[in-house]
């Protein structure tokens, strides 16, 4: 049976680097604290005026080239993001315009750090049902635009970037199983309180720094480990596989200690885990997208390998996906 697979990959990271030493000059923190507590050494940030669609378009062009497709071959563009250029139009429409992908329908998905996995699963459904042939899925964020650079508990964590894949029917390999989950009862653990219909922008929301990420990191930590471990195990079980079959594990890159604890919990060798958190920090939906792209470029993923994507984020939402490469 033909499956849906990834036929092209691409990424774009802004050039500007913000190191832990740079952060030491901005807030009361240290390189040592950030590395030991998170595994992050540096992150990339956009230049002033650069927006999420700018990163998404560059990643998309590389993915299309890798897939050897023309933009007119695309019938669907989904962008996973929680930092769109603006409330509307969607980032995916801006990408469509830049690519001149006039045959594509477009929408964005808001599933925070699990957004890229959610978007892959949604695109897969359109292709499996025969509605569309080729889909472009992008995870793109400018988290620096919603980061409170005065709050040391969050500003050391986040960065900007984009990763993209092209999905199509494949004769060999492809997506074997998927699993998505959510629990909205814990929505208050991680949010941007203002800027939506509940608290539109006002002097009050700005004075109270309500347009920035608010996170109860310590509580999230334990939940992230439990949920990411369960999600990977459920997706593998659905695929009829076990951890021993995994060649490359691509987790959401929120915290190195979370990733190590998840690997330990499910009995996965650390050398199977792909990491880029030290270079980029947490780029939400772009974390799994760029990590997948770089693992392929570095030949950590080869034809026939079993790859697991595993992500967790604000909502709460989570998702895992088993792919034969």
Residue numbers at the binding site for ligand ACO (CB under 6 A): 29, 33, 37-38, 112-113, 152-153, 156, 190, 217-218, 220-221, 224, 254-255, 258, 282, 284, 313-314
Tokens 């990339």 belong to 44
Torsion of CA 108, 51, 278, 22, to 10 degrees: -150
> Is the separation of the CB atoms in 239 and 315 below 8 Å?
no
User: Are 314 and 292 spatial neighbours (Cβ–Cβ below 8 Å)?
Assistant: no
Location of structure tokens 């999600």:
231
Closest to ligand ACO by CB, 190 or 229: 190
Chain position carrying tokens 């992230």: 224
Q: Which residue, 149 or 204, has its beta carbon nearer to ligand ACO?
A: 149
Catalytic residue (choose from 20, 93, 106, 252): 252
Residue 62 contacts residue 11 (beta carbons within 8 Å)? yes
Do residues 250 and 311 touch, judged by C-beta distance below 8 A? no
Q: How far is CA 184 from each of CA 90, 191, 278, 313, rounded to the nearest angstrom?
A: 23, 12, 30, 11
**Closest to ligand ACO by CB, 128 or 191:** 191
CB of 292: closest distance to ligand ACO in angstroms?
17
Q: Rounded to the nearest whole angstrom, what is the least distance from the CB of residue 92 to ligand ACO in the complex? A: 20
* Residue 276 falls in the annotated catalytic set: no
Residue 269 CA to residue 247 CA, distance in Å, equals 10
20: annotated active-site residue:
no
Question: Smallest distance from the beta carbon of 170 to ligand ACO, in angstroms?
Answer: 30
Least Å distance, CB 223 to ligand ACO, is 8
- From residue 58, give the alpha-carbon distance in Å to each of 22, 55, 140: 27, 5, 10
- For the bound state, the minimum distance from the C-beta of residue 316 to ligand ACO, rounded and expressed in Å, comes to 8
Q: Quick one: which of 175, 135, 165, 162 has its CA closest to 290? A: 162
The residue whose two tokens read 């950030």 is 34
CB of 69 to ligand ACO, least distance (A): 31
255, 282, 293, 321: which is the annotated catalytic residue? 282
Which residue, 167 or 229, has its beta carbon nearer to ligand ACO? 229
**Catalytic status, residue 252:** yes
Residue whose CB is less far from ligand ACO, 106 or 262:
262
On whether the CB atoms of residues 305 and 167 are closer than 8 A, the answer is no
Q: Which is nearer to ligand ACO, 33 or 107 (CB)?
A: 33
Give the active site residue among 20, 93, 106, 113.
113
Active site members = 113, 252, 282
């Amino acid at each position: 049976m033909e499956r849906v697979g990834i036929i092209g990959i691409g990424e774009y990271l802004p050039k500007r680097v913000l190191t832990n030493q740079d952060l030491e000059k901005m807030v009361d923190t240290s390189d040592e604290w950030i590395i030991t507590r998170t595994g992050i050494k540096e992150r990339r940030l956009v230049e002033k005026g650069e927006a999420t669609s700018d990163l998404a378009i560059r990643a998309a062009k590389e993915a299309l080239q890798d897939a050897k497709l023309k933009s007119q071959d695309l019938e669907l563009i989904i962008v996973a993001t929680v930092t769109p250029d603006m409330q509307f139009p969607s980032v995916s429409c801006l990408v469509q315009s830049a690519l001149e992908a006039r045959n594509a329908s477009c929408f964005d998905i808001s599933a925070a750090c699990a957004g890229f996995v959610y978007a892959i699963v949604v695109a897969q459904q359109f292709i499996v049902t025969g509605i569309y042939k080729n889909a472009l899925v992008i995870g793109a964020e400018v988290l620096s635009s919603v980061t409170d650079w005065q709050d040391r508990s969050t500003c050391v964590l986040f960065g900007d970037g984009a990763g993209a894949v092209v999905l199509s029917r494949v004769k060999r390999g492809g997506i074997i199983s998927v699993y998505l989950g959510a629990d909205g009862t814990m929505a208050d653990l991680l949010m941007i309180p203002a800027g939506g219909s509940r608290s539109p922008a006002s002097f009050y929301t700005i004075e109270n720094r309500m347009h920035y990420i608010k996170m109860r990191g310590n509580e999230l930590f334990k939940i992230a480990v439990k949920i990411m471990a369960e999600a990977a195990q459920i997706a593998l079980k659905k695929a009829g596989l076990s951890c021993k079959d995994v060649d490359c594990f691509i987790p959401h890159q929120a915290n190195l200690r979370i990733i190590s604890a998840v690997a330990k919990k499910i009995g996965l060798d650390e050398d199977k885990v792909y990491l880029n958190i030290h270079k980029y920090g947490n780029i939400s939906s772009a974390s799994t997208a760029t990590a997948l792209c770089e693992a392929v470029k570095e030949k950590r993923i080869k034809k026939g390998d079993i790859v697991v994507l595993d992500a967790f984020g604000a909502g709460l939402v989570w998702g895992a996906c088993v792919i034969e490469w």
